[in-house]
Amino acid sequence: MHLKAVRKITCTIELVTGLHIGTGSAAMRIGGTDNPVIKNPTNNYPYIPGSSIKGKMRSLLEWYIGIVDETKGEPVSFNTLNLKSLDADKKEQVRDILKLFGSSQAGEAADDVMSEIGPSRLSFWDCPLKGDWIDQMNKKELPLTEIKMENTIDRITGVAQNPRSTERVPAGALFEFNLTVRCHAGDDDRLMEQVFKGLRLIELTGLGGSGSRGYGKVKFTDLKLDDECRQSEYDKIDFRGT
């Protein structure tokens, strides 16, 4: 398998609502928040892990092609190609996902299938805050995160119960997004189209936790492929009625 090129997708991630991507730590410090956001330990700035974007995009694309029932909720793998319930079109879309994201389970895939699909094409990089936005917040003497208080309301008494605090990166924050795509001989434009669809699905459904409570709505702006603007092409992707 021949590597023909490595292409680069860049854009700005703008937070439309506050974003919470947690640290996964159960520890709570006195005077601290119940749910802190993940931060770079060298400067204490919040960032968006590339793994969060990768996992969300892959999950949404698998839901979009309608394969989740067949896999019983498991990620698409080489074993998925052996399912007798898949028609030719869905099997081709499964191949696309495996080419883009890879699979840790070779299973019973034939050598020629594994050779055709090859290694994963996508590399998701962690997304740091944009320097200009940090400078604006510092000039205004504003923090880079906010603490949102929440609680549960008793349906009968109307009394607030179980108060909790969640740290969020506030709406308006700007992050740098970088994604590299390895292009091998035999790959076609359909793979890049799937990547754009995945980004659009994230924009429509959100990132991070508590999406049902209004967290994590994002917007991808100034989207470029190899430094060439593709924003207008991206904005035309529409999932209504599909």
pLDDT at 176: 97
Return the biggest CA–CA distance within the chain.
67
pLDDT at 73: 87
Residue 240 falls inside a structural domain: no
Residue 28 falls inside a structural domain: yes
pLDDT at 240: 79
pLDDT at 31: 47
pLDDT at 112: 66
In the chain, the number of structural domains is: 1
- Residue numbers of the domain that contains 89: 3-235
pLDDT at 207: 94
Residue 11 falls inside a structural domain: yes
Residue 242 falls inside a structural domain: no
- Mean pLDDT, consecutive 10-residue stretches, the chain (242 aa), reads 90 96 62 77 95 95 91 86 85 90 67 76 96 96 90 76 85 97 86 94 92 91 95 91 59
C-alpha 81/C-alpha 90 separation (Å) is 9
pLDDT at 178: 96
Q: What's the whole-model pTM score?
A: 0.87
Residue 105 falls inside a structural domain: yes
Residue 14 falls inside a structural domain: yes
Residue 203 falls inside a structural domain: yes
Helix axes 189-205, 50-65, angle to 10 degrees: 100
pLDDT at 30: 45
First to last CA, the chain: 35
pLDDT at 116: 77
Q: Do 91 and 82 meet the contact criterion of CB atoms below 8 Å apart?
A: no
Per-residue tokens: 78 = 């080489």
pLDDT at 187: 80
